[in-house]
Structure 1
Amino acid sequence: MSDWTLMKQLPKAFEAASQLPPGVFSAIATRIEDAIADGSREHLIEMQDQLSGLLKLYASRSGDEVIGALQGSASPDSAAATAYALGQINFAQLLTAQAGTRRVEAAFAMLVEDHGDIVRMLLSRNMTGLELAEATGFRPETVSRKLKVMREAGISDYYREGTSLYNFLTPAAKALAPDLQSADEPRHGGVAVRRAIVSRQSSLQLHMRHALTFAPNPPSETASARVGL
C-alpha cells in the first residue's frame, strides 16, 4: 500500500487540482474500496496520510478563496464553497456507485459458478431443457428451476425453434465460463461428483474397481460351526 505511485505522479503531471482528469478520482475510489475490504487499519491510515498530503499540496497551489472553502471559513454562497460541497457529494456518489457495481459483478460471477454444470454444457452448444437434464444428470424439473434462476440473473436466455426451447448463454456469462473448472475436476458434491467418479471408475482395470481391504474375510458358517462358534 505504501507504494502508491499515483500519488507521486499527479503533482508532477498536473499543476492544479482542476486539471486532474475524471479517471483519477475513479482510481482513487477503487483504491479506497480495496483498502476498506482489506480490513487493515494500518493501510487505511497510510492512505489517509497520502491523500492528506496530496490535498495540502494542491491547496498550496490554490488561491485564498479555495483554501477558505477547504477550511470551512468561506462564505456559503461563494462559488468556491459551492464547488467544494458538490465535489464532496460527487466523490461519495462515485465511490458508492463503483462499490455497488463491483458487488453486482461478484454476485453474478458466483451465480455462474454455482450453475457451472449447466453453464459448461451451454458453452459447447445451445441445448433444450431435456438435453441439459440428460447431459448433467439432473432431473428435468431441477434443470427447469435452475434455468429460471439463470435467466433472471442474466446468465442465460432461450429461443423457440418449432416446439422446442433452446437455451443459450449471454455474452457476460460466456466471458466467465472458461474460468470454471472442467467437468472432470468437480469441486461441489452431488450428481456431478458421482458422474465423475463412475466415469473414472469404469476406466480402471477390473481388480481396481472395488475398494481394497486388508481385513480378513469373515469365517464361513460351516467353519464357525467346526470350531464351536
Structure 2
Amino acid sequence: MSKDNWPILYTLADSLQNAELGNGDVNLLASELDHALCSNKRSDLETLAPALAHLYSAMYQRAPLEARTAADPEASPALRAAWNLARVDFACHIAAQGLAARADQSFLDALQAPHNQVYLQAMASGGKSNAELKDCSGHEPETVSRKLRDLREAGVCSFQRIGKEVINSMTPLALELWQEANPGPQAAHEALRAQYSQATLAQFQRMPNFIEKTPA
C-alpha cells in the first residue's frame, strides 16, 4: 500500500485516537474528495479509494461496538437510519466545501478588499484565533467576529474548534490566489534573481566572440 498519494488521509488515519473526527478533519476529508471528484485524472480516484479504505478501517477498529453495529446491513431500523443520516450529512458537507472552493464575484471582492488585507495577511502564515486577529487588526472583538463571518460566507476562510478556541484559516483557493498576488520575501527574491539571470545571459549572448577571432 503506497502512501505517496493522498498522504494527508493516511496521516489522519494513523493519528486517530478514537473513531471521532474533528470539524477540521471533516473539512479536510471533504476537500480531498472534492479535489479528486473534480480531477480529470482517473489515477486520482484510483489512488483515493485505498486511502479512504485505510481511513475507514482505522475508524472502524477504534469505534465502539454500537457504532460498528450501525454499519451492519442487518442492524435495526433505528441504527440504519442514523447511519444513513450520517452519510447524507457528509454528502452535504462535501457540497458545501465544493461551493466554498469555487470563486464567484463575492469571493474575489472579499479577497481584494483593502479592509480585509490585515486579516488575510495574518491567516496566510497559518491559522489564527480570534484573539490573535484582534491583536493584528486592532479591531474590537465584535468587529473581528463580523469580518470573519463575512469572509466565511464569501468562501475566503473557514474555521475549526480546538478545545474552546476557534482557529481561523484561509481556504486553499483563497490562500493560493492571495499568495500569487502577494508574494513573500523569498518568492520576490527568487523572481528578482531569475530576472537578473536572464538579463545576464542576454548580455553575455550579445558580447562578441573574441575567442574565435583570436589567432592561434
**TM-score normalised per structure 2:** 0.44
Decide which structure has the larger Cα Rg and report it: 1
**TM-score normalised per structure 1:** 0.42
